[in-house]
Structures are given as C-alpha cells and as structure tokens.
Amino acid sequence: MFTPDDVPDLSHRVAIVTGGNRSIGLETTYMLLRKNCNVWIASRSQSGFEEAKQTLSKRNDIDDEMIQRLHFHSLDLGEMKKAQLSGQNFVKNNPSRLDIVIANAGVSLQRPDELGPDGYELTMQTNHLGHFSFITSLLPLLEKTAREHGEARVVITSSDAHAFAKEGIDFDSLTKSKPHLGIRGLSDAFARYGASKLANMLFARELDKRWAAPLRKQGVMVSADCVHPGTILNTGLGGTGSEWGIPSFIGTITRASAMFIGFSSLEGAMTQVWVATTPDLENEDHGKYFVPVTNWRGRYMASKESPPDSKWGSDDELAAKLWEFSEDALVKAGGQRI
Ligand SMILES: NC(=O)c1ccc[n+]([C@@H]2O[C@H](COP(=O)([O-])OP(=O)(O)OC[C@H]3O[C@@H](n4cnc5c(N)ncnc54)[C@H](OP(=O)(O)O)[C@@H]3O)[C@@H](O)[C@H]2O)c1
C-alpha cells in the first residue's frame, strides 16, 4: 500500500503543479511539500493561491518552513501564447532546476457554443493546448536538471474518460462552436472532455517518444507519463450543471454522495504523486498510463501501469498528428515554434 508517508524525501527538488490550488491539485501540492519539495502552484489567480496556502497552513503536519517552500507562478492555460510565455518566464526567473511537472489543471463540460481567444473549443484549449504550450517551454530546464541532478519527470493528468472519445480526435471540430445546450449539448461536452483527456494521454506518449526516450538513450533520465486519478465527485470539475438546465439539487446530491462513493481528493492525488516520485519507475519504459488500484471497499491502495481503455490511446499516428496540430496552433496563436 502507498501512503503520503511513502513519498520519498524530495529535499532540494523543485516541482510545478498546475491547478495546484484546489482539489486533486491541492492534495498533490500537500504531499510534495511535506516531503521537503519546493513547490510552485501554477494557477491563474493569486487569490486562489493565497486560499490554498491558508488551507494548507491549518493542517497539523504542515509547518512554517514548508509554507515558505510554497510559491505562486501565474499560468492561464486559456491562451497558448500566454501559456508558453508563462513557461519561458518560469525558466528565466526561478530556480536553476525543475525536477517534477504535474500537469493537473483541467476543465470539463464547457459550453459547446463558445470558443476561446485562440479560436479553439474551451476543453481542448485548457486541458491540452495550454499544457502543450506551457510544458514544451520547460523542457530545456527539465533536461538540465536531469543532467545535473539525476532525473526529471513530467506527469500529465488524463482520465478514464479518454474512452468517451469513441472516434479519436476530430481536429476539424475543434475550431467549431456547437449551438446545442440542453441534453444534446451535455453529450457533446462529455465527448469533448473525453477527446481532451485522450489528447493528454497522446501528448504524454509523444513527448516521451520525441523528447525523453532519445535523452534516456544517452543516460539523461527524463520521462513523460500520464495518469487517471480515480473518480472524485466533490471537486470543482463539471461546474454546477445549471448551464445545462440541470436542477442545482442534482449537483448538491452528487457532491454529497462523494462521502460514500469514489475517492477523496487526497486519494485522487496518489497516483500522480507516485508516478512523479517513486524510485520503482526509474529503469522502466515511459510514455505510459497509470491508474489506481483499490481494495474491495473501493479505497485507494496503490497505482499500476494499465493499457489505455481505447485503441486511440496507443495510436502513434494520432499522437504524431496531435503534436503537429498543437505546434501549428501555437504558432498561429503568436507563439514560438518548439
Ligand atoms: N475529479 C475527477 O473525478 C477526475 C477524474 C479523472 C480525471 N480528473 C482530472 O484531474 C484534474 C484535476 O481535476 P479536479 O477534479 O481536481 O478539478 P477542479 O477541482 O475543478 O480543479 C481544476 C484546477 O484546474 C485549474 N484550471 C482550470 N482552468 C484553468 C486555466 N485556464 N488555467 C490554469 N488553471 C486552470 C483550476 O484553477 P481555478 O481554481 O483558478 O479555477 C483548478 O485549480 C483534471 O485534469 C481532471 O480532468 C479528475
């Protein structure tokens, strides 16, 4: 069984957790902090960061020294050029090392009739295109860290919901808004969330193939993997449902049922923290998908590698196409080619 106490000592290490200010991301931050890591919460609001700091500082096992190792880095995944600049600024202004990146931030069930400022539908924009722009700008620092300190890891939070993307990724539809709200709109929004989580998985696979595996061949231990955190019903994901005409009491009941069904946010953070820190994966292949293992009561026990639940999750052609599409989208949005 893997518990927060089993996270190895992370003294001197530096981690970024995107969306580390609440829910699964906050618990990820918590586990890294209490094992002596220097943690940067990359999120879009300083006030959200201050709230997270307050929450953590009230915990019995978090002391002042730990809180001093917690920092804010401004990141809005909603625009590609801004997300790339955010990564470039981190490299310019922050410590000379970066050992761990956990790409945890995410949205779901965005309105299908709206596009983001770069012209892409909002779920793929935030969950994949924003992270693609941010993470690719951090690669030189990750490589330097691995050369100087032994290793560096990227972990991307995907989901079992990747299996909702039954037809893979429909690139043409990403720049089209869909007029439907109501039940039809909700079903479109689920499919778009699934496609974005499939993109998270394919990005981890392709990043490992293009960037990490060639470096590992030279003895530079970098890696990229992705995870499903489990199902956690009382996070902010999915909003209130009111924009879909769903009565608000249904959201309240769903969130309340989290006391009995599904994981806590802390359990949800375990797999990504394990993949980011365990020595067990040091000499393994990467670009993989990891999931939680539960006991008979559905409680988190451990994490393990798993084949994706859909054929698209291991489709190398689709992964390469997604990389090219994302890089072109970044350049069209005014960002720099990788
Ligand atoms: N909950 C589940 O059952 C479940 C299952 C499978 C996978 N996941 C994945 O787990 C991850 C965390 O989800 P969660 O349930 O903890 O959700 P959550 O409570 O809604 O937290 C999402 C985080 O993402 C941040 N975020 C959203 N849009 C952003 C943007 N444009 N730029 C920067 N940060 C942004 C949020 O920041 P703000 O506070 O500023 O909004 C928040 O910190 C997501 O990738 C999700 O897809 C969750």
Among 18, 43, 127, 234, say which to mutate for ligand 1: greatest number of ligand atoms within 8 Å of CB: 43
| CA 288 – CA 178 distance, rounded (Å) | 33
Cβ of residue 77 lying under 6 Å from some atom of ligand 1: yes
Give the SS3 label for residue 257. Answer: helix
pLDDT at 133: 98
Q: Which of 24, 124, 200 to mutate to test the pocket of ligand 1 (most atoms within 8 A of CB)?
A: 24
pLDDT of residue 211: 98
Ligand 1 neighbour 23 (Cβ under 6 A): yes
Q: Whose CA is nearest to atom 24 of ligand 1?
A: 105
| Beta-bridge mates of residue 222 | 152
Q: Which stretch of 92-106, 206-220, 248-262, 280-294 has the lowest confidence by average pLDDT?
A: 248-262
User: Does residue 42 have its Cβ closer than 6 Å to ligand 1?
Assistant: no
Q: Where are the domains of the chain?
A: 4-332
Per-residue DSSP letters for 263-276?
A: --HHHHHHHHHHHH
Cβ–ligand 1 contact at 254 (below 6 Å): no
CATH of domain 4-332: 3.40.50.720
The count of other CB atoms within 10 Å of the CB of residue 134 is 27
Ligand 1 centre and the CA of 106: distance in Å? 4
Mean pLDDT across the stretch 160-184? 90
Q: Is this model's pTM higher than 0.85 or not? A: yes
Cα 127 to ligand 1 centre (Å): 9
pLDDT band at 253 (very low <50, low <70, confident <90, very high): low
- pLDDT tens-digit readout, 37-52: 999 999 999 999 999 9
Instruction: Flag whether pLDDT at 251 surpasses 70.
Output: no
The percentage of residues in the chain with a pLDDT greater than 90, rounded to a whole number, is 84
pLDDT in tens, 258-310: 666 799 999 999 999 999 999 999 988 999 999 999 999 999 999 999 999 99
CA–CA distance, 297 with 230 (Å, rounded to integer)? 14
Mean pLDDT within 216-226: 98
Question: Looking at the predicted structure, is the pLDDT value of residue 103 above 70?
Answer: yes
Q: Average pLDDT of the chain?
A: 94
Residues contacting 69, CB < 8 A, separation 6+: 33, 36, 37, 38, 39
184-213 burial, b for 16+ CB within 10 Å, e for fewer? Answer: ebbebbbbbbbbbbbbbbbbbbbbbbbbbb
Specify the higher pLDDT residue, 279 or 250. 279
Q: Grade residue 236 by pLDDT with cuts at 50, 70 and 90.
A: confident
pLDDT (0 to 100) of residue 182? 77
Count the neighbouring beta carbons within 10 Å of the beta carbon of residue 257: 12
